[in-house]
Chain A
């Protein structure tokens, strides 16, 4: 069993839709939870990070962590074609990050 599981998709939705991306994990020692966005042939860039359970909002993006269920989510409201990318969840273990497989998202105009 992988430490972090993420549905690789691909996921295709119309412009303006609400997008939900999810990851589950097995290691209860994880403390920081992150979402990275990666455009094609580029390196990932940090989108949001949260510490412990709860919600964090940044513009159209909301990150949610439920440590009791070992489940994290990223919601994108009013999705735009420019949001089309691969989204990777990541979690901090001892001295390193553990990444999910990434979900490829396409927003159709």
Chain B
């Protein structure tokens, strides 16, 4: 079955650590996205990529970094510069130009301890 796999499902980070969230898709989608979800705030766009080796900042990119070396993979690193990283992180993908056909992964819950 085609879909998006996010791992791990739960992640704990100590103060000052960088952590990387994995996102893999086998839908042959060109575009991939990272969103952050906090209670009462909906989904906020962190980074997106429409093609391999290219990505753009979203609305809340500070403290995050991404790479897009393969079409199937779009990992997100939460750096120590992100002061409030505790949140639910969602990865999505779509065909380029598809403004409604987003497929989401099941998310990663990141908690700072």
Q: Which residues of A contact B (CB under 8 A)?
A: 4, 6, 8, 31-32, 34, 41-46, 49, 88, 92, 95-97, 99-102
Residue in B42, B48, B107 whose beta carbon sits within 8 Å of that of A96 in the complex: B48
Chain B residues with CB below 8 A from A6, complex form: 42
Q: Is the interface of B mostly helix, strand, loop or mixed?
A: strand
Chain A residues with CB below 8 A from B43, complex form: 44, 88, 99
Across chains A and B, the number of contacting residue pairs, with CB separation under 8 Å, is 52
Q: Quick one: given A42-B106, A92-B99, are A101 and B42 in contact (CB under 8 Å)?
A: yes
Closest residue of chain B to A45 (Cβ to Cβ) is B104
Residue with the highest number of chain B CB atoms closer than 10 Å, among A41, A43, A96, A100:
A43
Chain A residues with CB below 8 A from B42, complex form: 4, 6, 88, 99-102
